[in-house]
Chains A and B, each alone.
Chain A
Amino acid sequence: MSPVTATALALIRFDLRRYLVGGLLWMPASVLPLGGGLVLQ
């Protein structure tokens, strides 16, 4: 594993809960445009 990958993984792991919750909170923002497109159709 390259040093930068190790660093990246460690940064994700040190506060995994907040990273995951923060990431999940972003998901609706990405998925909602799907609905927009369907409504457009």
Chain B
Amino acid sequence: MFDHLAADRVPLLLCAAFAGIELVRGLTIVVAWTYGDYWWSAAAALLRGNVLRSVLIGGGRAPRSSGEALARLRDDVSTVVEFVDESVPLAGAALFGVAALAIMSSVDPVVTLVLVLPTVAVGLIGRLMNRRIGRLHRRAAVLGAAVTGHLGEIFTGVQTIKTAGAEEAALERLRRHNRLRREAAVRDRLATDLLGTATGASIEVGIGLLLLLAAPAMRRGDFTVGDLALFTAYAGWLTALPRTIGSILARMPQAAVSARRLTELMGPGEDLSRDGGVRLHRDHPAALPPARHDPLRVLRARGLTTARGLHGVDLEIERGSFTVVTGAVGAGKTTLVRALLGLEPLTAGTICWNGAPVTDPGAFMVPGRVAYAGQVPRLFSASLRENLLLGRSAEGLERAVRLAAFDRDLARMPGGLDAVVGSRGVRLSGGQAQRATAARALVRSPDLLVVDDLSSALDVETERLLWERISGVTTLLVVSHRPAVLERADRVVVLDRGRVAGCGPLAELLETCPEMRRLWSLGPLDEPGSSAVP
């Protein structure tokens, strides 16, 4: 065009071609972008799904603050996927760069070299700055997660904060976290921008040098105004190459940090990027019901030891028996059942199911063998039916609800099983939520039902009803210190500071085990009937 311009006429055809090329480019961008969304979404779902699988099924454990774990699944996954995604613009820029350099070299190789050199120099500088940028980014990410974590704390503990009137203090803490994160983020951003600016400046310097060098050639007529237009137009596009290289180099340490933070959530030896068959356009296959297995005859645990809490605890549970674990606060009752279920890592000890050793209790002690109702009932924002079934068929649901003594409450609830339980089940009273989790465990018809202090929020009458219905239905392992439960048990295991202080029927223990006697004599206060030996 410009060579024609020098000759005083610009054909309309060329003008139309210029606009047409841009239109075609626009259309390919729409198609490529929309198509590319699939890969992006599937890659993010793959990483998130693998971490979630590890935390819910595999060897990973969620950190105590779910807000922080959420921040990792949200931001760190994006960082890793964006890093990989950047390979596409890199390829495009490289392709353009090679072709543009070829065309420009055919016009004037020396000028081309001068145009490119500053860019190469900046690329090298970027490589050198990499480690520093990585460090800055790590710090910003940690402080950012602290903000999200604190917000999570505020919103999960909102009732505690509000009833105590501690809103202002919690906000003050938020302000402090905010300030620290802000300072780190601004510094992080400045370092990245510095690299970007250096890249932009290198191109401008290149054009300046181009002018200097081209001056004599233009005077001679070897270098036309059209060539100058071509060079300046390409120079702008050429910035994309160092820019994407710089961006990839800057993202590399960030992505490494993010990948590590995600791997930290997973168990040892698990692969963050294993292809678990993520296909967004097909529905994910429904969970299979647990396979039939070797029905429980006897469960034996020997020398169970955890980092804090348990020291060489032995336990034996026979089919159909009712075992109660009891002890003072901090004796390790909850730790024992959690260790048995694989929720607490064992440092020593073995668990044998019908004599066969269990290598990974976290994966083995699950339905259809074992089900668990924890100390703190945890319900999700969904219908009560969904909360009880969690993917199982509704078969036996009514029976489970009745066994858990939850039927009367359910009948009075508007909507019954379809009633939506609010955030974390707040609309249910403590006792209702506990019996709902018991029903959730019972509907899985386990060989062994593990219950951690289920009756803590129940009135005496409801509790009696529950044990009456539940006894004899399945093998029971129960943490409790209620006399009524202890009396019902076939075998009581008394824990004292992480060791077994006694084991046997209540009546026998009251004669042989001083710790049992101590606990029993303290008894529920002011209930004369229950403090006497039966």
Interface positions of A (Cβ within 8 A of B):
2-4, 6-8, 10-15, 18-19, 21-23, 25-41
Q: Contacts of A37 on B, CB cut-off 8 Å?
A: 100, 103, 229-230, 233-234, 237
Q: Which of A3, A14, A30 lies in contact with B256, CB distance below 8 A?
A: A3
How far is it, in angstroms, between the C-alpha of A6 and the C-alpha of B92 when the chains are bound? 23
How far is it, in angstroms, between the C-alpha of A8 and the C-alpha of B264 when the chains are bound? 17
Interface residue? B17 (CB, 8 A): yes
Is A10 within 8 A of B273, CB to CB?
yes
Is A27 within 8 A of B95, CB to CB?
yes
Is B80 within 8 A of A30, CB to CB?
no
Is A31 within 8 A of B32, CB to CB?
no
Is B17 within 8 A of A39, CB to CB?
yes
Is B28 within 8 A of A29, CB to CB?
yes
Is A22 within 8 A of B88, CB to CB?
yes
Given the known inter-chain contacts A12-B84, A40-B18, please indicate yes or no for A30 contacting B278, CB distance below 8 A.
Answer: no
Is B28 within 8 A of A39, CB to CB?
no
How far is it, in angstroms, between the C-alpha of A33 and the C-alpha of B25 when the chains are bound? 8
Interface positions of B (Cβ within 8 A of A):
1-3, 14, 17-18, 21-22, 24-25, 28-29, 31-32, 35-36, 38-39, 42-43, 46-47, 80-81, 83-84, 87-89, 91-93, 95-96, 99-100, 103, 226-227, 229-230, 233-234, 237, 240, 252, 255-256, 259-260, 263, 271-275, 278
Q: Which of B25, B96, B240, B275 lies in contact with A10, CB distance below 8 A?
A: B275
Q: Contacts of A4 on B, CB cut-off 8 Å?
A: 80, 83, 252, 255-256, 259
Instruction: Report the minimal beta-carbon distance from B59 to chain A, rounded to whole angstroms.
Output: 17
Is B96 within 8 A of A33, CB to CB?
yes
Q: List 18 A-B contacts (CB under 8 A).
A: A4-B255, A6-B273, A10-B273, A11-B273, A14-B275, A18-B39, A23-B88, A26-B29, A26-B32, A32-B22, A33-B96, A33-B233, A34-B234, A36-B18, A37-B103, A38-B230, A40-B233, A41-B226
Is B87 within 8 A of A12, CB to CB?
yes
Q: Contacts of B22 on A, CB cut-off 8 Å?
A: 32, 36
Given the known inter-chain contacts A12-B84, A41-B3, please indicate yes or no for A25 contacting B31, CB distance below 8 A.
Answer: yes
How far is it, in angstroms, between the C-alpha of A32 and the C-alpha of B226 when the chains are bound? 18
Q: Contacts of B17 on A, CB cut-off 8 Å?
A: 39
Is A39 within 8 A of B96, CB to CB?
no
A-B pair number, CB within 8 angstroms: 145
How far is it, in angstroms, between the C-alpha of A30 and the C-alpha of B274 when the chains are bound? 32
Is B28 within 8 A of A41, CB to CB?
no
Cβ-closest chain B residue relative to A3: B259
How far is it, in angstroms, between the C-alpha of A22 and the C-alpha of B3 when the chains are bound? 37
Q: Contacts of A3 on B, CB cut-off 8 Å?
A: 256, 259-260, 263, 272
Q: Contacts of B103 on A, CB cut-off 8 Å?
A: 34, 37-38
Is A41 within 8 A of B227, CB to CB?
yes
The 10 closest A-B pairs by CB, nearest first: A30-B92, A10-B273, A25-B32, A14-B275, A4-B256, A41-B230, A41-B226, A22-B36, A32-B25, A37-B233
How far is it, in angstroms, between the C-alpha of A4 and the C-alpha of B229 when the chains are bound? 42
Instruction: Report the minimal beta-carbon distance from B252 to chain A, rounded to whole angstroms.
Output: 7
Is A11 within 8 A of B18, CB to CB?
no
How far is it, in angstroms, between the C-alpha of A41 and the C-alpha of B103 when the chains are bound? 12
Instruction: Report the minimal beta-carbon distance from B281 to chain A, rounded to whole angstroms.
Output: 10
Q: Contacts of A6 on B, CB cut-off 8 Å?
A: 273
Q: Contacts of A31 on B, CB cut-off 8 Å?
A: 92, 95-96, 99
Cβ-closest chain A residue relative to B88: A23
Instruction: Report the minimal beta-carbon distance from A26 to chain B, rounded to whole angstroms.
Output: 5
Is B229 within 8 A of A41, CB to CB?
yes
Q: Contacts of A8 on B, CB cut-off 8 Å?
A: 80, 83-84, 87, 255
Q: Contacts of A7 on B, CB cut-off 8 Å?
A: 47, 80, 255, 259, 272-273
Instruction: Report the minimal beta-carbon distance from A40 to chain B, rounded to whole angstroms.
Output: 5
Cβ-closest chain B residue relative to A21: B35
Given the known inter-chain contacts A30-B96, A41-B230, please indicate yes or no for A14 contacting B278, CB distance below 8 A.
Answer: yes
Knowing that A13-B275, A40-B230 are A-B contacts, what are 17 other residue pairs whose CB atoms are under 8 Å apart, sorted by A's residue number? A3-B256, A3-B263, A7-B255, A7-B259, A12-B87, A21-B35, A22-B39, A25-B35, A26-B28, A29-B25, A30-B89, A33-B233, A34-B99, A34-B100, A35-B21, A36-B233, A37-B234
How far is it, in angstroms, between the C-alpha of A4 and the C-alpha of B76 when the chains are bound? 12
Q: Contacts of B230 on A, CB cut-off 8 Å?
A: 37-38, 40-41
How far is it, in angstroms, between the C-alpha of A34 and the C-alpha of B42 when the chains are bound? 33
Q: Contacts of B240 on A, CB cut-off 8 Å?
A: 30
Is B1 within 8 A of A40, CB to CB?
yes
Q: Contacts of A40 on B, CB cut-off 8 Å?
A: 1-2, 18, 226, 229-230, 233
Instruction: Report the minimal beta-carbon distance from A2 to chain B, rounded to whole angstroms.
Output: 7
Q: Contacts of A35 on B, CB cut-off 8 Å?
A: 21
Is B95 within 8 A of A30, CB to CB?
yes
Q: Contacts of B81 on A, CB cut-off 8 Å?
A: 11
Given the known inter-chain contacts A25-B28, A39-B17, A39-B18, please indicate yes or no for A14 contacting B1, CB distance below 8 A.
Answer: no
Instruction: Report the minimal beta-carbon distance from A5 to chain B, rounded to whole angstroms.
Output: 9
Q: Contacts of B35 on A, CB cut-off 8 Å?
A: 18, 21-22, 25
Instruction: Report the minimal beta-carbon distance from B61 to chain A, rounded to whole angstroms.
Output: 20
